[in-house]
Amino acid sequence: MDMEKKDFIEYKKELLGKIDALYQNQELFKVINLLENSDLDFDLCNELVRAYINAANKTSDPYSLFEKANLLLDRFSLEGKDNAKHQFYRGYILFKQGLIEDSKIRFERALRFASVSDGRLFEQITTMLANVNSMIELAAFKGQSEEHRNLILEHIRKNFGEYQHLCSFDNVEIYRVPPTDKHDYNLLVSVGLSGKVIKGIDGAKDECVELCFALPKDYKFNPESKSNFEVFLMIEVIKHLISTKDNIGFGYYLEKDTGFSSRTAFNGAMLVGLGDYEKSQQIMELGNAELSFLELLPLRPMELNFRKSHSALELLELFKERLVMITPFISTRDDVCNVVPKI
C-alpha cells in the first residue's frame, strides 16, 4: 500500500461513501468497477466480495463472478480465518456451488466469530446455517419402505377413498382422494413422511405422522400440480417436518418468516386431528410405531401469534366460536383473530 496510513483512512472513508451511494442506486457493477480499481485492505476486500456475490445473484452466468470472489478471499485468507463476514462469504459461495457440507463448515465457523451487535450479519449466518442443515436432513431422508408404503396406501383406500397420485418429492408422495358422498372435498394425503419416526420414551410406542390437507370439491388442479399454491404450501410444510429436530404431533405449529406466497397472508401452519373422520380412521399400526394422519391447518399472522401464547385446543375453539370452517381449506377465509363473533 503506497499511501500513508492516515491518508488511507481518509481515502477508505471517502471510498465507502461512494460505495453506499452506488448501492442506494442499485449500481452494482459500478461498485465493482470502483473497487477493482482501488487499493484494497481486508475490509475493502470484503466489500468487493459482497459486490461480486450480489452481482452474481442477478446474472444468468454467476460462475466467473464467484471465481473472482474466491480468488480475492484467498488473497486475504490469513486475515479472514477468524472473521465472521469473510467466513460467511466463503460459505455462501460454496452453497451456491452446491457444496452443501463444505458450506456448513464455513457457516458454523462464521457463527463462532459473529457478534450479535451486527444483527444483519448474525441473522444472515443463522438463516443460511438453518437452510443448510435442512437440506442435509432432506438429502438423508429415505422415506418409507415399500412394505409400509403399501400398508399406508391400503389404509387410505379403505378409510378415505380411492386415490390418485398427485406428485412426488424428497422420497415423499402426495395422493389425492377425490370428493366422496360422505366427504364432499378433495383430500390430499402424504405417503412417506412417516419414515421419520419419533422414538417412544419409557416404554411408550414409537410415533410417526402423515399429513392430510382438505381442499374444496371444485378446486382446480394445474397440470403441474406443484405450482398450485396449496400444494406448494403442503410440500413446504412436509419439508420442514422432515428437517426439524422437534417432535411433531397434534398441535405442532411452525412459522415461515417470508410467508408461503406473496399472494396470500398465510405465514404459519398447525397440525390438527381429522375431525371429519372416526378416531380409528385417523391412526394405524405401522410396524412398532403408531401412525397418525393429521390435518394441515394454515394460519394467518394473528392466528399464529395467538397459537404461540395459547394451546392448540384454544385456537381451535376460536375457529368454532367464529364459525370459520377448517375443512376444507379456503384461502379467502376470515382471520379468526380478527372476526367479530356472530350472535
pLDDT in tens, 18-68: 998 988 888 888 999 999 998 889 999 999 999 999 999 988 888 899 999
Q: Give the domain extent around 18.
A: 5-140
pLDDT at position 277, please? Answer: 95
284 in any annotated domain: yes
Same domain, 259 and 121: no
Task: Tell me which DSSP letter residue 40 carries.
Answer: -
User: 130 and 173 share a domain?
Assistant: no
Q: Does residue 81 form part of some domain?
A: yes
Is residue 251 in some structural domain?
yes
In a domain, 92, yes or no: yes
In one letter, which amino acid is 256?
Answer: K
Cell of 246: 422437534
Residue 343 resides in a domain: no
Contact 75, 49 (CB under 8 A): no
- How many domains does the chain fold into? 2
At residue 226, the pLDDT reads 67
Evaluate whether residue 97 is within a structural domain: yes
Judge contact between 193 and 211, C-beta under 8 A: yes
Same domain, 80 and 158: no
On whether both 35 and 179 belong to a single domain, the answer is no
What does pTM read for this prediction? 0.74
| Cβ-contact 77, 42 below 8 angstroms | no
H helices of the chain, in order, are: 5-24, 28-36, 42-56, 63-75, 77-80, 84-96, 100-113, 119-140, 146-159, 229-243, 279-282, 301-309, 312-321
Note whether 127 and 157 are same-domain residues: no
Dihedral in degrees, nearest 10, Cα atoms 99, 100, 103, 107: 170
Question: Which positions of the chain have pLDDT values less than 50?
Answer: 1
Residue 248 resides in a domain: yes
Statement to judge: residues 25 and 158 lie in one domain: no
Q: Is residue 194 a contact partner of residue 294, using CB atoms and an 8 Å limit?
A: no
Residue that finishes a domain, picked among 82, 116, 140: 140
Residues 112 and 169 in one domain: no
Task: Indicate if 232 and 206 belong to the same structural domain.
Answer: yes
Angle, in degrees to the nearest 10, between helices 100-113 and 119-140: 150
Is 83 contained in some domain?
yes
**Do 29 and 82 fall within a single domain?**
yes
114 and 236, same domain (yes or no): no
Same domain, 124 and 186: no
Q: Which CATH number characterizes residue 115's domain?
A: 1.25.40.10
167, 175 Cβ separation under 8 angstroms? no
Same domain, 163 and 108: no
DSSP states of 258-314 as a string?
T-S-TTS---EEEEE--TTS-HHHHEEEETTEEEEEEEEEEE-HHHHHHHHHS-HHH
Q: What is the pLDDT of residue 225?
A: 64
Final residue before a domain boundary, out of 140, 173, 200: 140
The predicted pLDDT at position 1 comes to: 45
Last residue of a domain, one of 120, 140, 160: 140
Please give the pLDDT value at position 221: 87
